[in-house]
Structure 1
Amino acid sequence: MTKSAQIKKESFQFLNKLKQNNHKDWMDEHKKEYLDSEKSLKLFYAEILKGLNKTDEIAKQKIFRINRDIRFSKDKTPYNVHRSVSWSRAGAQRRGGYYLRLEPGNSLMAGGFFVPEPADLLRIRKEFEMDASEIRKILNQKDFKKAFSGFNQAYRVKTAPKGFSKEDPNIDLIRLKSYFVQHTFTDEEVFAADFREKLLYHYSLLRPFYDYMSDVLTTDLNGESIL
C-alpha cells in the first residue's frame, strides 16, 4: 500500500474543524480542504476493496454522503462529522457486508445484520430457537471474541418477541433485533501504516459468521434452499 493510501491526519483535522463550524458558509470556504480529504480517503477505500476481493466477492462500495438528512431531525446541523463507507457482498447466496466509520476519537469497523427485514429476522430467531450451538461456537471462538465481545446489545426487545418464550434458553439471542459486531480503533491506530492490514484482519474474522448466516438465510428450517 502506498503512503498516499493511508489515512492522513489532515482528514481528522478537517473533521474536527467541521465539528466546531458545522454550517454551509464554513464548508463553502473550506471546500478544497474537504475535496482533498475525500480524494485521500477514496484511495484508502480502494485499497480495502482490493483486499476484501482477495478472499471474498464484493458487489458494491457505498461512500456515505457528508450531508445529513435533517428533514425529520431535531439536530439541524447540515454535515456529518465522520466519514463512512460500506462494502456489500455479491450474490444472493452471500449475506452480510463490511462497514467502516472514521471519526476523531470514535472510529470503528462493523459487520453483520443491522435491523434485518422482518422475514430474515424471523428466520434467524427461529434458527436460534431450534439450535444456537453453532452461532455460540462462532461467538466464542477465541479471536472473534477478543475482537468483538459478542453482538451489539443496543437493539433488542425487553422480554421476548411475539411467538417466542421468554424462558427459552436462547432468549438472549432471540430477543435481539440486530445481529452485528463492531471493533473500535484509536486515532493512533487509524493513522498507523498497518491500519489497512489490521482492518482487513478484523473483516476476515467475520467470514465464519457470514458463512453460517448465509446458509441460514438461504434455506428454510428443514435446510432446503429457498434460492
Structure 2
Amino acid sequence: MKALVNFLNDLRENNNREWFNDNRKRYEEAKEQMLFFTELMIQEIHKFDESIPLIDPKDCLFRIFRDVRFSHDKSPYKTHMGSFIARGGRKSELAGYYIHIEPGNSFLGGGIWRPEASVLKAIRTDIYNHPDSLKEVINDVGFKKYYPSIEGEKLKTAPKGFPKDFEDIDLLRYKSYTFGLGLDDQTVLSDNFVNTAIDAFRELSKANRYLNHALDMWK
C-alpha cells in the first residue's frame, strides 16, 4: 500500500488541480493499488459471506473527486480512498464492508451508514422484536476484539413509534448501525495487513448477517 499512502500524503499537501494533473500517473497507480486490494477483499469475504458476489471492484470504489457545490471547503479532491463491498457495490442499501485508506486516519468497518427511513425502521423493528439477536453479536468476544461498540449519532430519546420504556431502547436510538476498526499507517503498510483485514471482516460478517436478515424480514 506504499504508493497509495504516499500519494494521499502528498495530495493532502497539494490539493489543487494543477498538482493533481501533474501527478496523474501516480494517482492512477494509487487507484490501481486500491482496486487490487478491494478485489482481493471481495474474493476473501465471499468465502465466509456468500451474500457478497464476486463483483467488479470498480463498482465498490468511491470517486476521489469531491462535490464542492454546497461546501465551504472547495478542495477538489478527497484525501482518502474508500471502497464499500456489498451486493450492489458502493450504492447498496445493504450492510457491507468498508475500506478507508487515509494517512493517519485509516480504518476498516461496515454495517449500514445513514440509511433511508424505511431501512432504519426495518432494523429498529427487528431489534425491538428480537433484541437478544443483536446483543449476541455485539457482545461476542471475537467481535468485540475488533468492534467494541456501535458507532455514530444517536437520537436523544426513543424513535417515533417505539415505547420509551423498552428495556433496550438505547439500541434503537442509533441513526446508523456501523462498526469501525482504526488503523495506524504502520499496520496499513505492514506485510500482515491483508490478514488483519480478512480477520476483521470475518468478525464483521456477524453484524452484517444480522442487519441484512433484519431487512429481509421487516422491510
Rounded Cα–Cα distance in structure 2 between residues aligned with 1:136 and 1:187: 32
Residue identity in the other structure for 1:81:
T
- 2:168 corresponds to which residue? 170
SS in 1 for 2:86: strand
Aligned alpha-carbon RMSD (Å): 1.8
Rounded Cα–Cα distance in structure 2 between residues aligned with 1:209 and 1:162: 24
Q: Which runs of 5+ in 1 are unaligned?
A: 1-6, 221-225
- Counterpart pick for 2:20 among 13, 19, 27: 27
Rounded Cα–Cα distance in structure 1 between residues aligned with 2:213 and 2:36: 33
What are the equivalent positions in structure 2 for 1:59-208 lying under 5 Å apart?
59=53, 60=55, 61=57, 62-89=60-87, 95-152=94-151, 154-208=152-206
- 1:51 corresponds to which residue? 44
Rounded Cα–Cα distance in structure 1 between residues aligned with 2:128 and 2:42: 36
Deviation at 1:32, TM superposition (A): 1.5
| Runs (4+) off by over 6 Å | none
Paired-residue identity, %: 33
Task: Check whether the contact 1:67–1:79 (CA below 8 A) recurs between aligned residues.
Answer: yes
Higher Rg of the two aligned structures: 1
CA pair 53-127 structure 1, distance change in 2 beyond 3 A: closer
Normalised by the size of structure 1, how large is the TM-score?
0.86
Instruction: Return the structure number with greater helix share.
Output: 2
Rounded Cα–Cα distance in structure 1 between residues aligned with 2:208 and 2:20: 39
Aligned residue pairs, count: 210
CA pair 95-63 structure 1, distance change in 2 beyond 3 A: closer
Task: Check whether the contact 1:66–1:80 (CA below 8 A) recurs between aligned residues.
Answer: yes
Deviation at 1:73, TM superposition (A): 0.9
Deviation at 1:110, TM superposition (A): 1.1
Task: Check whether the contact 2:109–2:204 (CA below 8 A) recurs between aligned residues.
Answer: no
- Counterpart pick for 1:39 among 24, 32, 44: 32
Task: Check whether the contact 1:56–1:89 (CA below 8 A) recurs between aligned residues.
Answer: no
Q: Which runs of 5+ in 2 are unaligned?
A: none
